[in-house]
Amino acid sequence: MDVAMKRSTARWKIVVGHHTMRSVSEHGDTEELLELLLSVLKDNDVDFYINGHDHYLEHISSRDSPLQYFTSGGGSKAWRGVFHPNKDKLRFFYNGQGFMSLQLNQDQAHFIFYDVFGNILYRWSSRHPQSSTYLDEE
């Protein structure tokens, strides 16, 4: 994976996995992924890690890199009430059912979390660091 990411000329680097790397809910942080994969993601300037697995919606920002963690696993088994903060910055957490969308172009990424009725719960946008201006808004 490290070699493939180093060779990549993609403007945005996005990694999608099943398990969480960072999580404040039931399964918590996945230590094996943090030990084996996190340094690879940071060394290769990965912008986003997107996962499911935990049954909620979540956005966490790394405190020591630009890496953003998004969890969209709110399709079932919601409302568990489990919350365990970690060392990174929690921007959004919803313990109910819903889904996430991502609109991506050359310069901007727009994430939106919705409840099951399609109501917007949270939105976050970012300009790519190589763009002329950087946008990081909630």
Q: For the segment 29-60, what is each residue's pLDDT rounded down to a tens digit?
A: 888 988 999 999 999 999 999 998 877 899 99
The amino acid that residue 12 corresponds to is W
Please identify which of the residues 18, 19, 27, 128 carries the catalytic annotation: 27
Domain count, the chain: 1
Q: For the segment 78-102, what is each residue's pLDDT rounded down to a tens digit?
A: 666 677 777 889 999 998 899 999 9
Tokens, residue 121: 């719960």
Report the chain's mean pLDDT, rounded to a whole number: 86
CB atoms within 10 A of CB 98: 22
Rounded Cα distance between 52 and 55, Å, is 7
The strand pair at 108-115 and 89-94 is best described as unpaired
CB atoms within 10 A of CB 105: 10
Q: What is the CATH number of the domain that holds 131?
A: 3.60.21.10
Q: In whole angstroms, how large is the CA radius of gyration of the chain? A: 15
Tokens, residue 122: 């949270």
Secondary-structure breakdown of the chain: helix, strand, coil percentages, each rounded to the nearest 5: 15, 35, 50
Query: Is the model's pLDDT at 131 over the cut of 60?
Result: no
Could you tell me if 138 and 123 are in contact, meaning their C-beta atoms sit under 8 angstroms apart?
A: yes
Could you tell me if 10 and 38 are in contact, meaning their C-beta atoms sit under 8 angstroms apart?
A: no
Over range 60-70, report the average pLDDT. 92
Given the structure tokens 């990424």, which residue do they identify?
Answer: 109
Range of the domain at 51: 2-137
Whether 27 is a known active-site residue: answer yes
